[in-house]
A and B are shown apart, each in its own frame.
Chain A
């Protein structure tokens, strides 16, 4: 490395620091990140009172990271670098085949599940007492139905265990796993969003109609054309 480059290194580094610190103070704080769908850390989160517990340091870290100028672009650069290094998962999102992004589902909160299902069971019970039938439809995420498109060896929990648990607690379940799997080659899940498409929703509706004993002809909907991609 030439001497000129070595000599200018400290200068470059100081410049970088100065620009970083100055911009931190000059650029007004952003409140909300549209792309991350969350509220960003604000200056007032930093409190000297938290100094001794170590919370202040953590808050400063969060603040600096959240309010850095052009944050979204920096994150894009970092994601690109990680993809180039061969990573197929970033922040709990798998980069699947055919441009699909998947919410990684590797674990769940058992206590929360138990509380939720109990609440549902209670509702179902009191509705039954009032003569109103209640059915529950648990719609799996894309990672379950399109698991073939996940990266190789990616940890992926079988979401059927949740449905089986709900069934065991006495809930009347409308099973949509099978009908969605049957149509997994169609466009039933969005590629970069965690929702199912209208087509996916229609198949679930068809499954529900079948459960009511009113058979629904799915063939007619298969003629739906995809207009935009």
Chain B
């Protein structure tokens, strides 16, 4: 199920976008090892073409297929564990380091392939320090693995970049609630990417969120009613009302009684958390999945 597309190289998307925004000299750091994130349905060749199109024909120097033997012997990739791939470099690779390698690996090989490509990239980086050519290109190389959580990472990466360059100043001027709305919007979308392991199901869910279905039906009224008490409680708990109340009580009852209440409260919350955990409804072990 987790076929993973591995992409070594050549440029675009948010990442070169970031480079461009940095302005300055490395703007044309095109043929670096950067990457693209795509759904599992696209083929490596299609990804390679998209990369080429994004870089632009005059800047894209990866014109020659990399030999199969070269991939296996020089890079050390086990092609029997690769379902499909596309690998190109410049015809005079001793002068132009431009290289693109896109791998669609079979189950379980993705991490190993990433490591292999990382190692060969480090060798390349060491090499150009001795024989400097295309240094900027090589140092801007990127390696991307598109599995589950990578998309999530990219989503937040994109937001961060967007914020840094456009949004931050505007958000600072806007009233506080605008920033809060914006944050919660991003969080709600981000969780969907995080929760779905399957691209298709995740996007279908997003589509529903953005108007792919009726705004409200009896089921949504039912859910709202079911969670209303908890939502109201959370809304109040998100304000300083609770802390104020606590301090007032402390003044009235004295610290001894409050210590007892604190302890009881903490033990009760730990017990409740354990109960929710065991019944499987809320699960912090989610992070095991990394």
Contacts and interface: CB of A to CB of B under 8 A. Distances in A.
Contacts of B197: 54
A102 to B, nearest CB: 13
Interface in A151-174: 151-155
A2 B270 contact: no
Contacts of B148: 54
A52 B258 CA distance: 49
Q: How large is the interface on B (under 10, 10 to 19, 20 to 34, 35 or more residues)?
A: 35 or more
A78 B222 contact: no
Contact of A74 (B107, B110, B218, B275): B275
Contacts of B235: none
Given A5-B259, A5-B266, A85-B229, A58 B1 contact: no
Given A60-B285, A65-B277, A78-B276, A52 B111 contact: yes
A224 B162 CA distance: 73
B82 to A, nearest CB: 15
Contact of B275 (A1, A61, A81): A81
A88 interface: yes
Interface string A59-95: 0110011001001001101110100011111000000
B221 to A, nearest CB: 5
A74 B225 contact: no
A57 interface: yes
A78 B285 contact: no
Main secondary structure of the interface of A (DSSP, over half): helix
A4 B263 CA distance: 10
A61 B286 CA distance: 8
A89 B219 CA distance: 12
Main secondary structure of the interface of B (DSSP, over half): helix
B277 A2 contact: no
Contacts of B222: 89, 151-155
Contact of B228 (A54, A58, A86): A86
Contact of B289 (A2, A57, A65): A57
Contacts of A77: 271-272, 275
A86 B229 contact: yes
A53 B288 contact: no
A64 B286 CA distance: 13
Given A2-B259, A153-B221, A52 B110 contact: yes
A211 interface: no
A106 B275 CA distance: 27
B57 interface: no
Of the candidates B279, B280, B281, the one having the most CB atoms from chain A within 10 angstroms of its own CB is B279
Contacts of A71: 278
A71 to B, nearest CB: 6
Contacts of B289: 54, 57-58
B78 interface: no
Interface in B191-218: 197, 218
Contact of B107 (A5, A53, A85): A53
22 contacts: A2-B262, A5-B262, A5-B266, A12-B267, A52-B107, A52-B110, A54-B148, A57-B289, A60-B285, A60-B288, A71-B278, A75-B275, A77-B275, A78-B276, A81-B272, A86-B227, A86-B229, A87-B227, A106-B219, A151-B222, A153-B221, A154-B222
Given A52-B110, A65-B279, A152-B222, 6 more contacts: A5-B263, A52-B108, A58-B289, A77-B272, A152-B225, A153-B219
